[in-house]
Structure 1
Amino acid sequence: MINVYQPTLGKEELESLEKVFESNWLGKGKRVIEFEEKYAEHIKSSKDLVLTTNCCSEGLFSSMHLLDIKSGDEVILPTLSFVGAGNAVCACGAKMVLCDVDPRTLNARAEDIEKCITPRTKAILLLHYGGIPCEMDEIMALAKEHNIKVIEDAAAGVCSTYKGKAVGTIGDIGMWSFDAMKILVCGDGAMLHFNSQELRRKADRWLYFGLETKSGYENSVAQKWWEFDISCFGHRAIMNDITAAMALEQLKKLPMFMEKRAAVHEYYNEKLKELTWLDLPLQLPDYVTTSYYFYFIQVKNGKRDQLAKFLRENGIYTTYRYYPLHRVPGYGVTGNFPNADYAADCTLCLPMHQSLEAADTRFIVEKIEEFGNKYC
């Protein structure tokens, strides 16, 4: 089966793990600190504004606490969002307010968000769909006008930029995922970015029991390092040196990953452009860069599901992400979201990862063409 997502790991990651084992320190330590510093350089920010955590969903949940979002507040998010975003809003007692999206980029736009703003709106939780940047100038201007916080779910945007700035660094809080299906992988893990050092310090305490002082290797100055105090009833959601060691090696490989993913993207574009029954990804403006996390087509003839089944029967796994939150019964949200409904019924994510071989992409295109000749 040709996978839709797949990590690329090698001896470098194994060797880095061996060094961690030899150190006898597997918890949060020097390698986590190094990864935070290196990632801050990667996104052209400061190490004083970034913080690791154990997964991106934790970042979503924690953002509610860090921005003081409570019961009765409203948080706007696109209905095409990861379920973790919806759960984060609902779990803190806030009201999840869904907005529609652009039917082609699948990103929320300022015009979609503005329709949903009320006096109770406290935050906007954006998704940069597949690493494609939202139009942040318009969204940030809208947020400033209404005094609304902006949270960026840049889980798939590890190399995505908007007008020279890394996505995830533009709003109040941003986050990137390093789970097993992402581009930079370390099993599980995430990086958070904050628009102030004060917010970062608040997160640092919240993600480790609310402790005012740290124990073990993180606390090298206290004379009685076993003494502590707490500032809040935080929990434990930290990265460790095992995952950080993997992440450091993966970070070195990102340029190569991007080159290979871009080549796959361009191959699909070139080979599929003549198929009139498909819409391909839009040409992006020159002021943005994407991480090429998804390559999604939109099947215009109502045969998306049939195509997905045909490809799977031929050893090609495809999928659609993300299932609209307004269609999830557990949320109990109703409304009119025509663009999101169109996307959910017509969009298909093709295999996209840096481990794809030329024979794989050639076979995928051949099978899509075969389907078109038979059924379209």
Structure 2
Amino acid sequence: MINVSQPSLGDEELAAVQEVFAGNWLGYGPRSEAFEERFARYLGVEPGHVLFLNSATSGLFLATELLGLGPGDEVVLPSAGFVANANAVVATGARPVFCDVDPRTMNPSVADVERVMTPRTKAVMLLHYGGLPGDIAATAALCRDRGVALIEDAACSVASSVDGRMCGTFGDIAVWSFDSRKIITTGDGGMLHVRDPELARRAHRLAYHGIAERSAFTTAAQGTDRWWGLDVEYVGRRLIGNDLTAAIGQVQLSRLPAFVARRAELTTLYDEALAGLDGVRLPPRPPVDHRSTHYFYWVQLPEDRRDRVAKSLLARGVYTTFRYMPLHRVPLYGPPVDLPGTDEAWATTLLLPLHQALSDGEARTVAREFIAAVGECGA
């Protein structure tokens, strides 16, 4: 079976893990801090504003907590997103308000966002679908004008940028995912960026039980009596990453340019192989000043054919899928609303295999089998 996604791990990552074993310290420590600093430099932000977490989902929940969201507040987010986005909002007692997306890009326009904002809107949570940057600059400007916080879910956008500025640095808070399916992986893990210095300070404490920086882990070296005492500032949880996974992350980050370049090559291969296929729409190309990570490669077919083509491909040894189920159709989040662009995308879109370990031969097999499945399923 040719998979939609899979990690790329090798001897360098294994050697990094062996070094951690040899050092006999697996928890959050010097390698986690080094990973944070290196990622901050990569983004072009201050290191103290970046925190390595155990998942991007933890970062989303932490973001809503940092913003003090609660009952009576509303958060605007695209329905074409992962359940973690809505869950992070609902957990605070706030209400998710879903906006529509362009059915081709799967990203909302600034007009889509503004259309559903109300005086109760306290935040906007924006996803860059499949690594394709959305209308982020205009949305960030809208949020500033309205005094509304902007959370960027850059889980799939670790190398995405607009006019040279990295996605995840436009908003007030951002998260990236390093789970096993992402372009760079730490197995599980994520990174958080908080623009405001005081909120960044609080994030570091909330992510480790609410304990202040000057605690048992630093006071012993300073000769303080009873250094085992803890200074607990907030009611926090344990959300931090660890040195074992951070060691993998540092290696993966160094390989990121090659990973993205390879995914771009595969995107071009698919574009050329599938060009002109009757009844099939290929992914939209990003504007000149937008850089994509090419996390997803999506094709779109008429609704009455999409599912049949997917089943045919599965029988041919090619796994396909679609992410994400429209959140406005999940009963947990409230009654359904009318979002035609999202519904069209849900009914017509299919993700083909795309990852940097995919060979040219495998990609050509996917293209060949897709063309055959489309022909088999008729017009």
Specify the TM-score bucket, using the shorter chain as the normaliser: over 0.9
Over 3 Å counting, the alpha-carbon distance change for 1:276 and 1:220 in structure 2 is: farther
Question: Which structure 2 residues correspond to residues 81-160 of structure 1 after superposition, within 5 A?
Answer: 81-160=81-160
The separation in 2 between residues aligned to 1:354 and 1:214, in whole angstroms, is 43
Q: Please say if residues 277 and 301 of structure 1, whose CA atoms lie closer than 8 Å, have aligned partners that are also in contact.
A: no
Write the distance in 1 (CA, Å) between the matches of 2:250 and 2:137: 32
Q: 1:111 to 1:228 in 2, by over 3 A?
A: same
C-alpha deviation, 1:70, in angstroms: 1.2
Indicate if the aligned counterparts of 2:215 and 2:231 stay in contact, CA closer than 8 A: no
Q: CA RMSD in A?
A: 1.4
| 2:300 equivalent in structure 1 | 298
Instruction: Name which of 226, 229, 232 aligns with 2:228.
Output: 226
- Residues 235-280 of structure 1: CA distance to partner in whole angstroms, max 9, x if unpaired? 1110100000010111111111111111110101111111121111
Q: Map of 1:229-244 to 2, 5 A cutoff? A: 229-244=231-246
Q: Deviations over 1:173-210 (max 9, x none)?
A: 01100000101101111111111222210100111111
Question: C-alpha distance in 1, partners of 2:83/2:352?
Answer: 21
Matches within 5 A, 1:312-323: 312-323=314-325
AA aligned to 1:223 is T
Cα gap change, 1:219 to 1:256, in 2 (>3 Å): farther
Pair 220,360 (structure 1): closer, same or farther in 2 beyond 3 Å: farther
Question: Are 1:50 and 1:193, in contact at CA under 8 Å, matched by a contact in 2?
Answer: yes
Aligned to 1:84, the other structure's residue is in SS state helix
Match of 2:341 in 1: 339
Amino acid at match of 2:180: A
- In 2, the alpha carbon distance for the partners of 1:33 and 1:217 equals 15
CA distance in 1, matches of 2:160, 2:219: 32
Once the two structures are TM-superposed, the CA of residue 331 in structure 1 deviates from its matched residue by 1.9
Distance 1:320 1:275 in 2: 20
Residue in 2 that maps onto 1:161: 161
1:21-73 residue CA offsets vs partner (Å, 9 max, x unmatched): 11111100000011011111111222122111110000111111101111110
Structure 2 unaligned runs (5+)? none
Indicate the residue corresponding to 1:272 in structure 2: 274
Task: Give yes or no for contact 1:29–1:217 (8 Å, CA) kept in 2.
Answer: no
Equivalent residue, structure 2, for 1:194: 194
* Deviation for aligned residue 1:227: 1.6
Percent identity over the alignment is 43
**Structure 1 residue 219 displacement after superposition:** 7.1
* CA shift for structure 1 position 216: 3.5
Describe the SS at the equivalent of 2:318: coil
Letter in 1 for 2:269: Y
More moved, 254-263 vs 323-332? 323-332
Distance 1:218-1:318 versus aligned 2 partners, 3 A rule: farther
User: For the structure 1 residues 219 and 191, does the alpha-carbon distance in structure 2 shift closer, same or farther, using more than 3 Å as the test?
Assistant: farther
Q: Is the 8 A contact 1:279 1:300 kept in 2?
A: no
Cα deviation code 1:139-182 (max 9, x no counterpart): 11211221110000000001000121110111000110000010
Does residue 330 of the first structure (1) align with residue 347 of the second (2)?
no
Which structure 1 residue ranges, 5 or more long, are not aligned?
A: none
Where do residues 9-88 of structure 1 align in structure 2 (5 Å cutoff)? 9-88=9-88
Supply the distance in 2 between the matched residues of 1:263 and 1:66 (Cα, whole angstroms): 40
Spell out, residue by residue over 1:121-146, the C-alpha distance to the aligned partner (whole angstroms, 9 max, x if none).
00001111111111122211211221
Shift of 1:217: 7.0
The whole-number CA distance in structure 2 between the counterparts of 1:332 and 1:189 is 30
Separation (CA, whole Å) in 1 of partners of 2:200 and 2:20: 27
The answer for the alignment partner of 2:356 in structure 1 is 354
Q: Which residue of 2 aligns with 1:249?
A: 251
Deviation, 1:10, is: 0.4
Are 2:215 and 2:229, in contact at CA under 8 Å, matched by a contact in 1? no
The AA in structure 1 aligned to 2:349 is T
